Amino acid sequence: MLSKSRLKYIKSLQLKKYRKEEQCFVVEGARSVSELFQSDFQITIVAATPLFIEQHRGNLARKGMEVIPVSERELTATGTLQSNDSALAIAKMKPNTPPVFQPGDFALVLDDIRDPGNLGTIIRTADWFGIRHIIASNETADLYNPKTIRATMGSFLRVKLFYTTLTEYLQSAGMIYGAFLKGTNIHELGFANGGFIVIGNESNGISTDLAAMVHERVMIPGYGGAESLNAGVATAIILDNLRRSKK
Amino acid sequence: MLSKSRLKYIKSLQLKKYRKEEQCFVVEGARSVSELFQSDFQITIVAATPLFIEQHRGNLARKGMEVIPVSERELTATGTLQSNDSALAIAKMKPNTPPVFQPGDFALVLDDIRDPGNLGTIIRTADWFGIRHIIASNETADLYNPKTIRATMGSFLRVKLFYTTLTEYLQSAGMIYGAFLKGTNIHELGFANGGFIVIGNESNGISTDLAAMVHERVMIPGYGGAESLNAGVATAIILDNLRRSKK
């Protein structure tokens, strides 16, 4: 059973303020917690059902990890999932360090993606297409928000985010692509050998300062009445076209 | 100002039970309400700021429409948006009637898309790619849920949804495509001249019964660690490839 203080601590991590103070975040559900065991994230607490504990005995025997047996009802009440019949873990955040690229790497650049669900979907999509690095503006949603972590479906373990001031970071960058409503048709674009792909804010698109730094504006051809696409959807279509053009 | 009974009525429409009873739903925000005026949806109530009322005088003079001046604070308190500084409208649902296709039409088929946000994003994406009809299983999220309507960004006005039992509906269907983790590479697929594209549930994919009816399994090539893609993202990539192959 969770003590009152442990319950309070875990719940506090739903707020960015306390995550920042504690440098810790919550991972929920059997699949995500299992994947967390396989990663290099440092885990401090696992609250899990007796069955989950039995099934993951080896992974739970690590040094410095507190294992707390709980009921399904306690788990659900403690976390943010609609129901959780397995486990919840607390892990240490990673330091915010700039990525190290390999030749030919592409990275996503997120210009104020505000919605944690959108951010999580973008991370999951980046992972699917083998994009390992995302550069995010300081105003982008928090990677460690429970909604972001959930929407990544475990992909936060493989894709690295770096928060920074984009206009400074991209000053010396190579090729910069940006998604706009007008530009080169993505179906006809020959992508360079590596570069950055800027995705704009959900409501306002790419900010003026950053738009001025984009070398190639790309657009996804539309055929209907919608004025724009969801940011995660636009990212997915661009990355699919990128991989297709590189075959 | 909204009377207590009007406020209660509008708030009740956030629940499916009352929407069904009243056959009415809520549309929020300046852009969506303005677009609603241009559609053939019957509007019963508009609650709006004096400024919005001034700007839309012509549209608000229609017969049978009750116009209620309200403050921004009232609007936000009445609706589901984080803030609303313009308008909120109540409109009549449309009857659930099967689509009438034109030769060469493609339609989406949604097999239990449970998340209203996902459904809304799919409708918006369909609209972008000129898909006018969606066939949804009866277990798919409600089109008239405020979260769905919001995520469509106005596209619910152009794309038509028909809820039905999919296995019965598709019995006499022509070409049926389905999104799977294994199948024909979407980059190499030659789409037929019209057909249905089945998108599976967020957790379980396409159900067994429906999977047996699919003529062509298609897959989106992956290059990374993610095990799957978000349903809206998968839809978007398939539709982009469809349009690309039809040029």
- Mean pLDDT by 10-residue block, N- to C-terminus, for chain A (247 residues)? 93 96 96 92 96 94 90 93 93 96 96 96 97 97 95 94 98 94 95 96 94 97 92 97 89
DSSP string, A162-223: EEE-HHHHGGG-S-EEEEEEEEEETTT----SSEEEEE-BTTTBS-HHHHTT-SEEEE----
Cα–Cα distance, B240 to B160 (Å, whole number): 20
Contacts of A221 in chain B (CB under 8 A): 243
Q: How many residues does chain B have?
A: 247
At residue B108 the predicted structure's pLDDT band, cuts being 50, 70 and 90, is very high
At residue B243 the predicted structure's pLDDT band, cuts being 50, 70 and 90, is very high
Given strand A106-110, what is the order of strands in its sheet?
A160-164, A133-137, A106-110, A195-199, A176-185, A216-219
Residue A38 is given by DSSP the state T
Q: Is the pLDDT of residue B212 over 80?
A: yes
Residue A23 is given by DSSP the state T
Residue A112: Cβ within 10 Å count: 22
Q: Does B105 touch chain A (CB under 8 A)?
A: no
Q: B5 vs chain A: nearest CA distance in angstroms?
A: 32
Q: Is the pLDDT of residue B172 over 90?
A: no
DSSP string, B80-121: SSS--SSEEEEEEPPP-----PPTT-EEEEES----HHHHHH
Which of B132, B133, B229 to mutate to test binding with chain A, by most A CBs within 10 Å of its CB?
B229
Q: What is the pLDDT of residue A187?
A: 96
pLDDT digits (tens, 9 = 90+) for A60-89: 988 889 999 999 999 999 999 989 999 999
Question: Alpha helix locations (H) across chain A?
Answer: 4-12, 16-22, 30-37, 50-55, 72-78, 116-128, 146-152, 166-169, 208-211, 231-245
Find, in chain A, the residue whose alpha carbon is nearest to that of B237: A237
Q: Does B231 touch chain A (CB under 8 A)?
A: no
Q: Which residue has the tokens 């972008």?
A: B128
Question: Contact at 8 Å (CB) between A85 and A112?
Answer: no
Question: Contact at 8 Å (CB) between B132 and B159?
Answer: yes
Q: What is the pLDDT of residue B1?
A: 86
- Note whether A224 contacts B127, CB cutoff 8 Å: yes
Q: Is the pLDDT of residue B107 over 90?
A: yes
Q: What is the pLDDT of residue A172?
A: 87
Q: What is the pLDDT of residue B63?
A: 81
Q: Does B147 touch chain A (CB under 8 A)?
A: no
Q: Does B137 touch chain A (CB under 8 A)?
A: no
Cα–Cα distance, A151 to B115 (Å, whole number): 12
- Note whether B127 contacts A225, CB cutoff 8 Å: yes
pLDDT digits (tens, 9 = 90+) for B119-141: 999 999 999 999 999 999 999 99
Contacts of A199 in chain B (CB under 8 A): none
Q: What is the pLDDT of residue B141?
A: 97
DSSP string, B137-193: ETTSPPTTSHHHHHHHTTGGGTSEEEEE-HHHHGGG-S-EEEEEEEEEETTT----S
Q: B206 vs chain A: nearest CA distance in angstroms?
A: 19
Helix (H, G, I), strand (E, B) or coil at A45: strand
Question: What residues contact A53, with CB distance under 8 A and at least 6 apart?
Answer: A60, A67, A69
Residue A89 is given by DSSP the state E
Residue of A160, A16, A168 whose CA lies nearest to A95: A160
Cα–Cα distance, A2 to A71 (Å, whole number): 10
Q: Which residue has the tokens 């030749």?
A: A103
Is the CA virtual torsion A30, A32, A38, A40 positive or negative? negative
Cα–Cα distance, B166 to B150 (Å, whole number): 26
At residue B224 the predicted structure's pLDDT band, cuts being 50, 70 and 90, is confident
Q: Is the pLDDT of residue B82 over 90?
A: no
Q: How many residues does chain A have?
A: 247
Cα–Cα distance, A143 to A157 (Å, whole number): 11
Contacts of A133 in chain B (CB under 8 A): none
Q: Is the pLDDT of residue B225 over 90?
A: no
Helix (H) or strand (E) holding B76: helix B72-78
Q: Is the pLDDT of residue B247 over 80?
A: no
Q: What is the pLDDT of residue B48?
A: 96
Task: Provide the token pair at A109.
Answer: 């650049």
Angle (deg, nearest 10), helices A231-245 and B231-245: 50
The chain-wide mean pLDDT, for chain B, equals 95
Q: Is the pLDDT of residue B23 over 80?
A: yes
- Note whether A129 contacts B222, CB cutoff 8 Å: yes
